[in-house]
Structure 1
Amino acid sequence: MRDYIIREATPDDVDGARVVMLDAVYRDFGTGYVPQWHADIIDPVSFYVAPVRHTLLVAVDGSDGTVAATAALDARGPAHPPNPRWLAERFPSGETAQLRRVYVRPEHRRRGLARHLVARLLEFARADGGYRSVYLHTYPDSPGAMGLWRTLGKELCDERKDVPGGGSGAVHFEIPFA
């Protein structure tokens, strides 16, 4: 197994992190870049690095220094719309740590990187002291996502079956945060 360094992203990591994130939205989601959904990918510094209560973590491949995986956290709860109103009310901005952009390059998957990154995000949220809950949404077609989130959290809403018309198709989770 390769050695990985998991750390808060430095300015030198931002371009590599952006590549990992863009690859995921093109390859895994098939949506490509959509400005209203992915502005944080283009400008991760403004969204995750500069704000004190936010963070962007990277897993760097120790053998070649490339970014192998990303994970971010911010204080923005799910917005309504497009998410169900009850989710936005349950997870208000400022009190909710939302996990975002947990992506692993295909050649680095199945090594526990996502799980380690999430553990570090939860440590960050606990140290902040102002978060009362941890929320995320994912899409069922994202490789490995449903299995990971079902082992780490509680599924709250599967829009494909719980929202008339299927909503966006997202599946929403709460991660225990004791």
Structure 2
Amino acid sequence: MDSRFAVFFFIMGGLDTYLNDCEAKCLQESEAPARLSIQYGDTYFQEEVIGDEIYGIYDLPKRYGAFQPTFGASLTSDDDFWIGAGGKWTTERVSDGPFFIELSLMPGVYFSGDGPDLGFPLQFRGALGAGLRLDTGSSISVFFDHRSNANATETNPGIETLGIRISQEF
């Protein structure tokens, strides 16, 4: 796995938690907007476009410090399927403006269809996105993510997705 996603995720989320939550309890549960998202994008394997992916994400209506639990599942045009759960950090806690940046890290299970062999069923998905919040509670963003097995096996080529995400709070 490209560890930069994990490093950014823990640095930004940890710093946000320390600055905004540690006077009471650092990882205290608090409310957050529940959100359902759909992402569509191109999948890349070794810098070549190999197909398309549809990705659904659900953010739970709570946070622990700056980290919001999230679940996701994706399906590629090669019938590769990934499902996972993890955490998300977003600048909505830092800035009240309409623009935001988001990082997520989710371990999950990868089931290879006709796509590439990623070496191991356990795949970590790290994502970086930037977007715009609309007054309706929805948002649109551009995302880049990377999935790999974090060198759990010798075969660890990874796969990337570049996509557009539409989200709705409820």
Indicate the TM-score class for this superposition, using the shorter chain for normalisation.
0.3 to 0.5
Higher share in helix? 1
Higher relative contact order (CA 8 A, sep 6+): 2
Higher share in strand? 2
The alignment's TM-score, normalised by the length of structure 2, stands at 0.35
The alignment's TM-score, normalised by the length of structure 1, stands at 0.34
